[in-house]
Structure 1
Amino acid sequence: MAEQEARTERIAAAIDRVDGARPGAGAPTTKHRRMLESPYRFLRGSAQLFYADLADGVLRLPAGFDTPACTTAVLGDCHMGNFGFVTEKGSHGRHIAFVPTDFDEACIGRAGWDLMRLSVSLFVGAELARGILAGRYATDAFADLDGLAAASADDAEAAVRACLDSYAETCRRVIDNPMVRRTTLDRFARRHPLRRYLKKARKRAIGGKKFERKSSLGKAAASGPNGLCFRERPNRYRRLEPALEESARAAFRPYVDDTILDIVERLGQGTGSLELPRYYLLVGREGATGTAGLAMAQVVEAKQQRVAAPVHAFPDLDPRNSLGAAHLTVHIQRRVQREPDLLLDQMEWQGAHWLIRSRHHARVSAEPEEICLAKRHVGQRMRDYAVACGTAAALAHARGDNRSVRFETAMADALDRERDGLIENARRYAEQVVADWQCFGRLMDRSGDG
């Protein structure tokens, strides 16, 4: 009982530190309601707990991964839902690739952190799928669950093993030919689960047949009496008070090429960073309208950043992590992307660090249940997806330092020696995540609105 109470306090304190709201004390926040939906949502929203457990030995990274040679630019929140398709170079890029898509927790760290978190997410993703069919969790990804099969525990372990094997193989390819770092995942076989998502992304890119209706820009903007403006969507966008709007326009204008045509506060975006303020800027040419004007415009996000979860847990690992929160995010993203976004910057405003970046027109990703639930071959589907994630993660990590192949050699060796230990620790921690989610639910029940 004492051990359970200690764990409950650990969970509550970790969440309170980042969110400024203790579970069960007062009305639940939007973020906490979302974390209540499933263990996977809980995992996404509690990266600080994952890293606290790593730092304190609750979760152990095998010793072979915990060496200076295994240090690189890491994603920080590396889970199966944080990979997807984007256009390289940002909104107006042309080449679409499958890559990591979230850098809010990015820093200089051990690559094994990313592999552990990705492996845990694959186990929890399979649990999510089984729980959906059993009625424990809900999903919006499917209108009809009839005929669907969920990935089993064995399927999940096979997917984790395939993911790690693909990571190691990519490291060996870089060792043999360092130019492999310049490659991307941009083609998939006809039966691969990612093929349809790639097709969807291509249709949403500039020049695609669904650009005006389905791209991030097309869904956000419309032509008004005075040109392009954000659509009126009260559950998604909120208009700013005049004084704040004037201040925001003045602060962010030097970072964008064209005029800020409109500006709104974005509501309900993300999970881990859900409660952090963010603004969307509609940027384009003055008086722009119609298809031609839309193709020249873009949505720019200005998002408040906080100290990354791994940096808080491991503050002395690398001096570069002492950079301001947004500055560090920009630094890491520019390292791990083959062709970094053309609009990617940072600033200080209103006493906080802000990340400024373009919102990719064609960004498309799969929800975990879309991979772990299928009518046939669900195990193979999950393995194929995991292999792509492992390859994409390895390529991103390999770009962290182009001077030698020391990192790739160390990681390939560590995986050869201690892969099984990492898999077993990830499986056990996935069980801990489910137990922690249940504990979180009991905490939230105390608010009377769980």
Structure 2
Amino acid sequence: MAEKKVKHRSVEERKSKGKGYRKKTPVSSHTGWKPANDRPDPVALLEEQNLTREQDLVPVRHGRMLVSPFTFYRGAAKIMAADLKDTPRAGLRVQLCGDAHLSNFGLFASPERTLLFDLNDFDETLPGPFEYDVKRMAASFTIAARNNEFSKHETREVTLRAVRAYREAMAGFAKMRALDIWYARLSEEQLSAAMDLAVATQKVKALKKEARGRVNAGRRNVEKARTRDSLHALSKLAELVDGKYRIVSQPPIVIPFRELGDSYGMSADEVQHVIAEQLRSYRATLPDDRRHLLEQFEIIDVARKVVGVGSVGTRAIIVLLQGRDQKDPLFLQVKEATASVLEDHLPKSRFSQPGERVVQGQRMMQAASDIFLGWTKASRDDRYLYWRQLRDMKGSAIVEGMNPFDMTFYAHACGWTLARAHARSGDSVAIAAYLGKSDKFDRSITDFSERYAEQNEKDYQAFADAVRTGRLEAIEGV
């Protein structure tokens, strides 16, 4: 791949560029969103996605999306991608997450074993307009707040906080050296200090006491994340049989390949051979030191494992490996990578292998990435995969349990984190100049979010009607 020629502009030139885009596409242009007259049927878009998915899991995906308008939104990235293509864009490109809703942020361990808060899902990552991620994130807060029955004022304040945090963080990154942006991260210690500050700002004694209780609960969740590693996964997902560990069958969520071989037209031995081939191919995408480390582990068992909401039905398996002995397990997760939903409307990825697209996008956006992050191509069909650790001190917020204090704090953390991810690949100076110093952009995106939340509820009802009438099949509670 030929190296691109990089043009280095002065800070003043970059500021001027951002201000020029502000004139061309005013921040107020993001208000007043309406669905396009030729907007595609949202249910039809989901049906289109289902065609390449494992058909026995499609009803499970529908069942998870059916829980609420919020869970529907989590699985509706393709629908929103179609809506975003007609929205105003300043012309400032970044590496997009592509699905930056609030449940795709969380805790995980850095290679130095420090807990970090960051984006954690990159299935849809692609270069594109920075506004796409901001709108996806902001709308998710509006929808989640409504789902939690916040007042209209509380919902608006939560959304404004997310966007304001993005804008103010970008202004800060615009003043930083390039290396300082690259090294910026939100650690457990910084998160803890921010929580204490949020409690201190509470003026009413009763509210301060409640906030302190919520913060203490949050710290307990952080501590719980520290225990979520491969050894913990072994106790939850595996059992000892004849002196050897194997993954426990928990259909339809977890089904070992020893029970799935027939459905793929392979014997148990053939499955083992294919997985070993895949492991060798994947290992070749790792740096030499990580490859050496992984070579110390051998495959013990493999299973299909359903994850998430939007991903349900794409290939997703877990691989149990063992190092020096049975007390040295390693669980790897292997997920199918398809074309990003954004590629329907934006230039195609420069990576022909979707698994590499996901991995390279993740490395660009995250402050620190999993040491076992790599990719490969399925050996028997035209599918692409990426690999990572299944659990490495991962922790996720329970959005449905948040009150306004929790969600407002979380919105600030997500807004800052998204800005940091965009500043790594985009022009932070130009973006900051476009966003400006006032709250006009915040209010404009919040207006969009409120309007999009209304549309999301209509789409959810259309989806629920499709299930009720039998157009779509759904299995609930799984």
2:237 is the alignment partner of 1:220? yes
Kindly provide the CA deviation profile for residues 171-196 of structure 1, in whole angstroms up to 9, marking residues without a partner as x. Answer: 12212223144232223234475664
Find the partner of 1:370 among 384, 389, 401. 401
Q: What's the TM-score, normalizing by structure 1? A: 0.79
Matched to 1:443, the amino acid is A
Residue number in structure 2 paired with 1:19: 50
Find the partner of 1:100 among 109, 119, 134. 119
Q: Cα RMSD over matched residues?
A: 3.0
Find the partner of 1:336 among 365, 370, 382. 365
Residue number in structure 1 paired with 2:305: 267
Provide closer, same or farther for how the CA distance between residues 21 and 302 of structure 1 changes in structure 2, counting only shifts above 3 A.
closer
Residue number in structure 2 paired with 1:81: 103
Residues in 1 aligned to 2:101 and 2:131: alpha-carbon distance in whole angstroms: 13
Q: Which runs of 5+ in 1 are unaligned?
A: 131-150, 372-377
Structural mapping, 1:31-50, within 5 Å: 31-50=61-80
Find the partner of 1:300 among 322, 332, 340. 332
Shift of residue 48, structure 1, vs aligned partner: 0.5
CA contact (8 A) 2:105 2:120 kept: yes
Residues in 2 aligned to 1:26 and 1:280: alpha-carbon distance in whole angstroms: 18
Residue number in structure 2 paired with 1:143: none
Structural mapping, 1:32-431, within 5 Å: 32-55=62-85, 57=86, 60=87, 63=88, 66-68=89-91, 70-89=92-111, 93-130=112-149, 151-178=150-177, 179-185=180-186, 186=188, 187-188=191-192, 189-190=195-196, 191=211, 196-205=217-226, 215-240=232-257, 241=261, 242=268, 243-254=270-281, 255=283, 256-285=294-323, 288-289=325-326, 293-294=327-328, 297-314=329-346, 316=347, 320-349=349-378, 350=380, 351-371=382-402, 378-401=403-426, 405-410=428-433, 412-413=435-436, 416-431=439-454
Residues in 2 aligned to 1:8 and 1:299: alpha-carbon distance in whole angstroms: 42
Residues in 2 aligned to 1:411 and 1:227: alpha-carbon distance in whole angstroms: 59
Residues in 1 aligned to 2:388 and 2:56: alpha-carbon distance in whole angstroms: 34
Matched to 1:200, the amino acid is N
Corresponding pairs, count = 393
Aligned with 1:50: secondary structure? helix
Residues in 1 aligned to 2:56 and 2:453: alpha-carbon distance in whole angstroms: 29
Residues in 2 aligned to 1:433 and 1:333: alpha-carbon distance in whole angstroms: 27
Shift of residue 227, structure 1, vs aligned partner: 4.3
Provide closer, same or farther for how the CA distance between residues 321 and 122 of structure 1 changes in structure 2, counting only shifts above 3 A.
farther
Matched to 2:237, the amino acid is A
CA contact (8 A) 2:95 2:125 kept: yes
CA contact (8 A) 1:122 1:160 kept: yes
Provide closer, same or farther for how the CA distance between residues 280 and 120 of structure 1 changes in structure 2, counting only shifts above 3 A.
same
Residues in 2 aligned to 1:324 and 1:415: alpha-carbon distance in whole angstroms: 42
Residues in 2 aligned to 1:355 and 1:117: alpha-carbon distance in whole angstroms: 24
2:41 is the alignment partner of 1:10? yes
Q: Radius of gyration: which is bigger?
A: 2
Shift of residue 435, structure 1, vs aligned partner: 0.8
Provide closer, same or farther for how the CA distance between residues 156 and 37 of structure 1 changes in structure 2, counting only shifts above 3 A.
same
Matched to 1:160, the amino acid is T
Matched to 2:184, the amino acid is T
Residues in 2 aligned to 1:28 and 1:300: alpha-carbon distance in whole angstroms: 24
Residue number in structure 2 paired with 1:443: 466
Residues in 2 aligned to 1:32 and 1:204: alpha-carbon distance in whole angstroms: 29
CA contact (8 A) 2:50 2:58 kept: no
Q: Which runs of 5+ in 2 are unaligned?
A: 1-34, 197-210, 262-267, 284-293
Residues in 2 aligned to 1:183 and 1:406: alpha-carbon distance in whole angstroms: 16
CA contact (8 A) 1:119 1:423 kept: yes
Matched to 2:253, the amino acid is R
Kindly provide the CA deviation profile for residues 61-91 of structure 1, in whole angstroms up to 9, marking residues without a partner as x. Answer: xx4xx233x21111111111111111123xx
Residues in 2 aligned to 1:352 and 1:405: alpha-carbon distance in whole angstroms: 36
Residues in 1 aligned to 2:116 and 2:303: alpha-carbon distance in whole angstroms: 29
Determine what percentage of the aligned residue pairs are the same residue.
20
Residues in 2 aligned to 1:341 and 1:212: alpha-carbon distance in whole angstroms: 14
Residues in 2 aligned to 1:411 and 1:230: alpha-carbon distance in whole angstroms: 52
Matched to 1:182, the amino acid is Y
Aligned with 1:29: secondary structure? helix
